[in-house]
Structure 1
């Protein structure tokens, strides 16, 4: 059997291409399979460390192959090796922000602008294990605190900028604008009451189809001429949200308030 010339002369390149493209492909399949219910989200995430390991090994091998070729004065056959190298680098670059969030942000999944009085869900249901696995149980500085107190302490330390805002518009107007913004984001709105100043919705991620529940609360200020807005975003599953809920709250409040906002202490 005669093999293609590129395969005969570049087995190393084919190896790098196979694993370089294969690792991100397996990750996408694992995530998409979880998203459509072929297997649980835990199984989908379990594939991640293995695909990262394969990608790192692939990157190391590619560098070694290139270095050996140069040392021996041999020509590097770039088409397949380059493909695998680019796929590997792209995959690892895609994962860098998530890895950084994993090690720099606390393992919490419930983010709100009001730690003392978080907005409460009326239509949606707060997950039953919401206060389980809150970090700090073994921290000497938080000794004696219950899970909710530890959550508030950790939350404040990680996200001091997330707090209530005041908008110079009546409650009903603010909630109507919030509804339009939620629709623009593709959130599934489950309840909205402009007169009561409340909106509840669910955001679904693209690959794993993770669902995060959001509640927006608007309270009248200055005899109804302004509103104090609070937002709460909670992941339905998992312990660490990798900063996704905080990012969502920040962006939503920024879009909702525009230039008419002042921070509310």
Structure 2
């Protein structure tokens, strides 16, 4: 076998390896997420699968890059597209997961977010998990470490999500609950409680792949000037960190409620 022929064979092998690792990594990630969502295995097992899928996809992208150099040099143009697709898949997937990891490091490892920390909205049909304040980080700060878990949660919450606050709307309590229910339905949340008399709406938001469920409560009270005073709480049922999902949800929801005010 000549040297040129040997390198062509290696170009084909590398192309196959790139495709298997890149596409296989995506398939494994989906399998890990869907399996967790369907209860086939624990979500932590799904995360382990996701981590290995991440590394496999990185390897696939690097191999695809090397294979591209070979197939172009030896005129194997039929393999160019496959390597390009494998490389693009790798870059997109790794960029997406890398962004998630970066966000997770920028937000505190808490999973319960509320607009009102001094009078936190209570759940009625839904529940607060028993270990809700079990693993609140102290951020390496002795003053935080000395606080009770609940007070430490409040302190960390204020530092990270100080912009999330109660809002007021020039609407009745009943109309505000109606607006909140409409927005919840638009988002595909499962609404489990609508109580216009007590100004309570409860709902469950479910993530797409892992099927993580977050409990949500919206509390509406009549203010001193007849306005609707709106508080919201979003809490993850499992996990220590929510990667900022609950805060993002509250910000977006209340922004839409504010648009109703302007409309």
Structure 1 and Structure 2 fold alike (TM over 0.5): yes
**Residues 188 and 197 (structure 1), Cα distance of their counterparts in 2 relative to 1, 3 Å cut:** same
Residue 123 of structure 2 corresponds to: 121
Deviates more, 1:238-247 or 1:55-64: 55-64
| Structure 2 residue ranges without an equivalent (≥5) | 1-7
Q: Out of 179, 199, 209, which is 1:177 matched to?
A: 179
Residue 3 of structure 2 corresponds to: none
Residue 3 of structure 1 corresponds to: none
1:134 Cα deviation after fit: 0.4
Residue 245 of structure 2 corresponds to: 244
CA distance in 2, matches of 1:143, 1:45: 29
Please list, as runs of the form range in 1=range in 2, the aligned pairs for 1:10-89 lying within 5 A after superposition.
Answer: 10-66=12-68, 73-75=73-75, 77-89=79-91
Q: What SS class does the counterpart of residue 186 from structure 1 fall into?
A: coil
CA distance in 2, matches of 1:192, 1:7: 66
Spell out, residue by residue over 1:72-97, the C-alpha distance to the aligned partner (whole angstroms, 9 max, x if none): x4446312211211211121122233
Contact 1:7/1:14 (8 A) holds in 2: no
CA distance in 2, matches of 1:95, 1:79: 24
Contact 1:171/1:197 (8 A) holds in 2: yes
**Residues 150 and 67 (structure 1), Cα distance of their counterparts in 2 relative to 1, 3 Å cut:** farther
1:146 counterpart = 2:148: yes
CA distance in 2, matches of 1:141, 1:52: 38
Spell out, residue by residue over 1:42-76, the C-alpha distance to the aligned partner (whole angstroms, 9 max, x if none): 21112121111112222233334445677xx4446
CA distance in 2, matches of 1:67, 1:147: 56
Q: Out of 104, 107, 113, which is 1:105 matched to?
A: 107
Spell out, residue by residue over 1:227-246, the C-alpha distance to the aligned partner (whole angstroms, 9 max, x if none): 11100000000011011111
CA distance in 2, matches of 1:123, 1:209: 20
TM-score (norm. length: structure 2)? 0.89
Please list, as runs of the form range in 1=range in 2, the aligned pairs for 1:214-229 lying within 5 A after superposition.
Answer: 214-224=216-226, 226-229=227-230
Please list, as runs of the form range in 1=range in 2, the aligned pairs for 1:163-174 lying within 5 A after superposition.
Answer: 163-174=165-176
CA distance in 2, matches of 1:61, 1:171: 60
Deviates more, 1:125-134 or 1:143-152: 143-152
TM-score (norm. length: structure 1)? 0.89
Tell me the C-alpha RMSD between the 2 structures.
2.0
Aligned length: 253
Spell out, residue by residue over 1:200-227, the C-alpha distance to the aligned partner (whole angstroms, 9 max, x if none): 1111111011000000001111342x11
Spell out, residue by residue over 1:120-176, the C-alpha distance to the aligned partner (whole angstroms, 9 max, x if none): 111111000000110007422314211111111111111121111111111111011
Relative to total residues, which structure has the larger helix share, 1 or 2? 2
CA distance in 1, matches of 2:66, 2:119: 57
| Structure 1 residue ranges without an equivalent (≥5) | 1-5
Deviates more, 1:124-133 or 1:54-63: 54-63
**Residues 9 and 45 (structure 1), Cα distance of their counterparts in 2 relative to 1, 3 Å cut:** closer
